[in-house]
Structure 1
Amino acid sequence: MSPRTELQAPKPQVRPSGLGPRDLFVAIVMNICWGLNIVAVKMAVVAAGPFTAGWLRQIVVLVICLPFLRLVPGRMGTLLLVGLINGALWLAANNLSLLVSTNVSALAIASQLGVPFSLILAVLFLKERIALTRTLGIAFTFAGVALLVFDPLVAREIPGLLLTALAAIFWAIGSLLLRRLAGVPVLTIYAWIGLIGGLLLAPLTIWIEPARVAALPDLRLGDFSWILFSAIGSTLVGHGGMAWLLQRHPMETVMPLTLASPIVAVIASSLMFGTVLTPVMIAGGVMAMTGVAIITFRTVRKGGGRTRPA
């Protein structure tokens, strides 16, 4: 293993390698689910309230993953932290940002702040090194995201953008913690996220949104379907795929792949909510996707054996 790519981190370690066809397929499905999810969450938040929608989402995740809920010796502290951050803090901040915003496309772009946050944390705490080519790809992608964020139409969404940035920080911390759960089945991880998130959000939901909770028997099936998609498509398929990739590849390889999701989200939210796609948004999207392509093809070209948790 080259010193340039070796991961210096506490056990468990993940040995880096190139992305294979299965990895790329997971990344594509993950980005589609996340891109469409922002529409589902916006609709769920409007219909049920931010905390109620988040709480129901975690209940659905728990019910689906309950057969896989089990104690994992030596990992319970990390599992509980992931449940707190991914299951409650990130979800609450993300849902609140969608409640106070109308330009959903802008939030989809701002959510990608989680990528530089994640890389900064990886460098600081995991001593990861980023090769020059992929560094340039990340910089080019970040420039595209920055161009989108600075579109004049985004200026009116400051509260939502700040909440989205907070959610991105929580997401980055949660992603870092997931690296320490290498070898733990993804469905077990999300069973704990659903349990901890559900337990933490329940009292907040009852306290902050009592009227929403009382009106749950009257929630329409169509509105509940948005919550189902968010739980299954985004949490289990999307975030489950992310956890699967993070357990097999370095963070600097996986994180840039998520930048395809805002492009899907921008198109989906534009069609659903009538958001205007300005030339600046289109140019920034092209830049972001170009950066993703540079990183992906460079990683595939490097090749290497399939990685397994140490």
Structure 2
Amino acid sequence: MTIEKTARLSPRDLLVALLINVTWGLNIIAVKMAVMATAPFTAGALRQLIVLLLCLPFFRWVPGRMVPLAWLAALNGAIYLIFVNVALEAADNVSALAIAGQLGVPFSLLLGIAFLGERIALPRMFGILLAFGGVVVLVFDPGVFRELPGLVLMATGTFTWSVGALLQRKLADVPALTIYAWIGLGGVVGLLPIALWAEPGAMAALPDLPLRSLGWLVFSAVGSTLIGQGGMAWLLQRHPISTVLPLTLAAPVIAVCASSYFFGTVLTAPMIAGGLLTLTGVVIITLRSARAGPAPRPADISKAP
């Protein structure tokens, strides 16, 4: 049955949008806490194991689509989390990393231009420059400059996710939860051996892991994947992309503000300026992309966790 799309949002739609923004915004806190409670590779392996178990009923072989699906599973299931989790372990200023994490939007746009032959007008190009310029401004803060290795790792991880998102756009005919089942499997296969080798102490301590720490892992897996991605798919089935995409713009703001509050990070003038520049660039890209393109299939929508 085809659902008629409308630009009018019901209270239920707004509630779903709120849940998406909150779960995506708080996800960086959950990942940081999970990494602190265990270790980077162990936390990543456990998170992807939860994703795999939750999506297991939708796990299936997809004839003719397995090559891009396998690459996507490796990139977004394992390699992305290696960079991001190590970055979060190394850095204390999670707010700065949250700002750098927003580079996924301009990275995805640039990759679309390079490999899909997409064209963009000056407003979105200006948005790309603002987004990257904002991250550059962060380095002028002496406190953030000490976090440069973490920023580089986060930006590299975000680029890796963007490459995976490009592959995911080629899998629009594959159900979203099937894709995430494979991503979960890719994470377990890729990260579990590394965790067993590099973090034997963390793996041995898992039976004694406090429920609170396990809760952070569950929140990250469920919030980013099922609520975030599932909620976006649900909204896109009912509304045009021009209506849905702007609803997610609160997520990066929540990420920066919540991580600053939770970890007691002081938002200095360079951080505020850099954050505003980056977020302004993301807003421009998102609004112009929503206006320019047709509504994607649910599997096209992804968000850097």
For 1:197 and 1:85, the matched residues in 2 are separated by 9
For 2:47 and 2:261, the matched residues in 1 are separated by 24
The residue type equivalent to 1:197 in the other structure is G
1:50 and 2:40 equivalent? yes
Partner of 2:116: 126
**Mapping of 1:1-310 within 5 angstroms?**
29-239=19-229, 260-298=250-288, 302=291, 306=295
TM-score by length of 2: 0.81
Alignment coverage as a number of residue pairs? 289
For 2:20 and 2:31, the matched residues in 1 are separated by 16
**C-alpha contact 2:36 2:89 (8 A) present in aligned 1:** yes
Shift of 1:170: 0.8
| CA deviations over 1:178-203 (Å, ceiling 9, x no partner) | 11111211111001111121122111
| CA deviations over 1:218-258 (Å, ceiling 9, x no partner) | 000001000001101123333556788999999xx97x987
Shift of 1:290: 3.8
Partner of 2:303: none
**C-alpha contact 1:45 1:99 (8 A) present in aligned 2:** yes
For 2:8 and 2:295, the matched residues in 1 are separated by 8
**CA shift in 2, pair 1:99/1:74, >3 Å:** same
TM-score by length of 1: 0.80
**C-alpha contact 2:59 2:181 (8 A) present in aligned 1:** yes
CA RMSD of aligned residues (A): 3.4
**C-alpha contact 2:102 2:282 (8 A) present in aligned 1:** no
Secondary structure at the counterpart of residue 181 of structure 1: coil
For 2:66 and 2:234, the matched residues in 1 are separated by 19
**C-alpha contact 2:249 2:283 (8 A) present in aligned 1:** no
For 1:166 and 1:246, the matched residues in 2 are separated by 29
Q: Which has the larger displacement, 37-46 or 195-204?
A: 195-204
For 1:243 and 1:121, the matched residues in 2 are separated by 23
For 2:74 and 2:17, the matched residues in 1 are separated by 25
The residue type equivalent to 1:157 in the other structure is E
In structure 1, runs of 5+ residues without a counterpart are 1-17
Shift of 1:110: 1.6
**C-alpha contact 1:86 1:193 (8 A) present in aligned 2:** yes
In structure 2, runs of 5+ residues without a counterpart are 1-5, 299-305
Percent of counterpart pairs with the same letter?
58
